[in-house]
Chains A and B, each alone.
Chain A
Amino acid sequence: MADATTETPLVDVRHLKEYFPVNTGFFKQTPLKAVDDVSFTIRRGETLGLVGESGCGKTTVGRTILHLYEPTAGEVIYDGKPIKTKEDLKAFRTKTTMVFQDPYSSLNPRMTVADIVGEPLDVHHMYSSKEEREEKILALMDRVGLNSEHANRYAHEFSGGQRQRIGIARALAVNPEFIVCDEPVSALDVSIQAQVINMFDELQDEFGLTYLFIAHDLLVVRHVSDRIAVMYLGKLVELASADEIYDHPLHPYTKSLISAVPIPDPRIARANKRIPLQGDIPSPLNAPSGCPFRTRCPYAKEGCAGTMPELDEVSPDHFVACHRVEEINS
């Protein structure tokens, strides 16, 4: 890991902002700050987990990195090169893809499985003959555990787990280096989740893939991730290795989040001390000044309302954005 910090990261996200205009009155628009000044890097071959509650902007981060949304500000540097021109973007899109959360709505019901998996090949002109296209499609389907006889069926004929396999085959079609996995297992049954998680694991070993793994199930994220980033209201509040986040969370939000995870073991679950949070997440249209978490934070003081805390490296490779991190953890 020591030299990993010195090499160029595969994905370098710098001060990324994504604001959506929302009509809040007649002729009046307020920006909804879905992602507000987020910076982090993803190293080649690692899995970065991104966790947070619904509405915290984790999906928007994933989509903005892939430029499915045009960033409002900030930049994404991929493999040392910024993405500026249309050509850059096109080249970028042959190396990056996405696996979506909902395997029911992310597959076109009017297309056969072969056409769904083959569409990225068509878009990027990645074959020279019809035979080659078919060969590639069957190889992809085989890789994710689908039979060749499935090729001419439609998405509705498959179960949730199989549909997610189709989505993964489609993502693999462009030979990507980097995949944004947006809650890829949360719509699946427990017994199927493990199949898909293992497949992500195998594909990473086989093709040297890099993942941004977005999820709200913290046990799943801990299982797949090398490092974990925690988001709250459009901001990054903590970033560290998966073990460090679980064993030594420093931000009060992370602490509470981790303590709230139901552990599937009755003795541990009942002995577990939860750190309860009061209230709900504020609306991102009307985010609190200063630290976004201060309205629910048990340690909040007057100073927290002033400025947004910076994401500081408090110990090697452990970043926290909290004004009172030292007092709280001493």
Chain B
Amino acid sequence: MALLEVRDLRTSFFTDAGEVKAVNGVSFNLDRGKTLGIVGESGSGKSVTVYSIMQILAPTGKIVGGSVKLDGQELVGAGEKVMRDVRGNKISIIFQDPMTSLNPTYTIGHQLIEAITLHTNRNKQEAWDRAVEMLKLVNVNEPEKRMKQYPHEFSGGMRQRVMIAMALACEPDILIADEPTTALDVTIQAQILELMQKLQQEMGMAIIMITHDLGVVAQMCDEIVVMYAGSYCERGTAEEIFYNPRHEYTKGLLRSIPTLDTMGQKLHPITGTPIDLLNLPEGCPFAPRCDNAMKICIREAPHSMDINENHKASCWMNVKAQLAEAEAGVTAAEAAAPADPQEGGEA
């Protein structure tokens, strides 16, 4: 059994302008000790997905469907008491901006000890020792001295280390990292990513890594979920997603980033602008920007299709490809003619 099972999760925000379907049917599994990457552009629902798992949504947000199972225990509708035990203890989170996620009016030590005493039975002295131990673990020099300092005395990379120390102090099963290195410089980013990998090996926790940086995902993640406009386009192992993308959005994304080989060449951007979540189209949300959109893409949202055992994608192009393959088996002449994608939709 997977450590975390998310099935068809749906979260909406009820605003004055209408219902915003921020997460619209996301499913994935996470195994112990593995790293899952959630990739997508801003507004794709990647942060809301993990906020829904932890149930730390803004007051207007509500989980409207689906299930989140941690170790077999259902969390959706489980109530605040259960969730308080889950947060920090079993699942903890580090946020994007280390500048604003620490309280500037308390010392680092105070904040670490608060997190530790809240979740364990340690007394103050034991909590202090544990906090120092955690700071040592994340490579903060002179931890005893640092405990008495305030967040403004720390650099960005150091603050992110403190956040990681705080998140890991209660040895959670799952660490959620919401764009943990976006605000940091590349050399500091490399330090933090390396630290996370090292700690994962030592403590054996699973990591959910949210990012828009495909380079970070390639380096860190075993499995990847690609999101667009609240739905997942594709999920699979890192190798499958990078070398065998089967959704037009993933393909476009991979084509549009500069790599070592694109020097002096034109990039291939995805045309158009990101979608308005208040007015989601009826069919595939990516269809308005997709170069290969077919009739069915505009009419009907694609369901999740199995590409192979490690790879699922929600794109009608896969049905088209399957049909073309099947037809190629019947007669070569028919295979030359384009397969009718509408048949695929009903199949």
* A residues whose Cβ falls under 8 Å from a Cβ of B: 53-54, 159, 161-162, 189-195, 197-198, 201, 216, 218-220, 222-223, 242-243, 246, 256-257, 259-270, 272, 274, 276-277, 280-281
Contact = CB atoms under 8 A, between A and B. Distances in A.
Interface stretch (B57-65, B184-192, B330-338): B184-192
B214 A190 contact: yes
A243 B263 contact: yes
18 contacts: A189-B41, A189-B212, A190-B214, A194-B268, A219-B260, A223-B262, A262-B189, A264-B254, A264-B259, A265-B218, A266-B242, A266-B243, A267-B239, A277-B191, A280-B155, A280-B158, A281-B155, A281-B185
A189 B274 contact: yes
A190 B252 CA distance: 10
B185 A223 contact: no
Among B157, B193, B216, B269, the most chain A Cβ lie within 10 Å of the Cβ of B269
B147 to A, nearest CB: 19
A262 B273 contact: no
Contact of B257 (A159, A190, A274, A277): A190
B328 interface: no
A269 B254 CA distance: 15
Contacts of A161: 273
A232 to B, nearest CB: 10
A135 B276 CA distance: 32
B211 to A, nearest CB: 10
Given A190-B212, A198-B269, A222-B263, A269 B186 contact: no
A262 B213 contact: yes
Given A263-B218, A264-B259, A162 B273 contact: yes
B238 interface: yes
Given A219-B215, A259-B190, A263-B218, 5 more contacts: A189-B212, A242-B263, A260-B190, A262-B216, A267-B239
B72 interface: no
B259 A266 contact: no
A146 to B, nearest CB: 12
Nearest to A162: B273
Contact of B219 (A54, A189, A262, A276): A262
Given A189-B42, A257-B186, A197 B258 contact: yes
A194 B256 contact: yes
Contacts of B56: none
Among B194, B214, B258, the most chain A Cβ lie within 10 Å of the Cβ of B258
B254 A274 contact: no
B267 interface: yes
B242 A265 contact: yes
Interface of B: 41-42, 155, 157-158, 185-191, 193-194, 212-219, 238-239, 242-243, 252-254, 256-260, 262-263, 266-271, 273-274
Contacts of B190: 259-260, 262, 274, 276-277
A266 B273 contact: no
Contacts of B267: 194, 197-198, 223
A161 B272 CA distance: 10
A264 B269 contact: no
B297 to A, nearest CB: 18
B214 to A, nearest CB: 4
Contact of A266 (B155, B212, B218): B218
B31 to A, nearest CB: 18
Given A159-B274, A280-B157, A194 B186 contact: no
Nearest to A226: B264
B253 A190 contact: yes
B243 to A, nearest CB: 8
List 8 A-B pairs, minimum CB-CB distance, nearest first: A262-B215, A194-B269, A223-B258, A194-B256, A189-B41, A260-B190, A53-B185, A264-B214
Contacts of B242: 264-266
Among A195, A197, A256, A266, the most chain B Cβ lie within 10 Å of the Cβ of A266
A85 B218 CA distance: 53
A161 B273 CA distance: 8
Nearest to A274: B190
Contacts of A198: 266-267, 269
A191 B262 contact: no
Contacts of B191: 276-277
B180 to A, nearest CB: 13
B145 to A, nearest CB: 16
A274 B194 contact: yes
A276 B262 contact: no
Nearest to B217: A264
Contacts of A162: 273
Contact of B185 (A54, A265, A267): A54
A219 B270 contact: no
B218 A191 contact: no
B336 to A, nearest CB: 33
Nearest to B242: A266
Contacts of B274: 159, 189, 191-192
Given A243-B263, A264-B214, A280 B188 contact: yes
Nearest to B222: A266
A226 B1 CA distance: 53
A201 B266 contact: yes
Among A54, A262, A276, the most chain B Cβ lie within 10 Å of the Cβ of A262
Contacts of B259: 219, 263-265
B215 A261 contact: yes
A286 B298 CA distance: 60
Nearest to B215: A262
Nearest to B258: A223
A22 to B, nearest CB: 16
A243 B262 CA distance: 12
B185 A191 contact: no
B258 A222 contact: yes
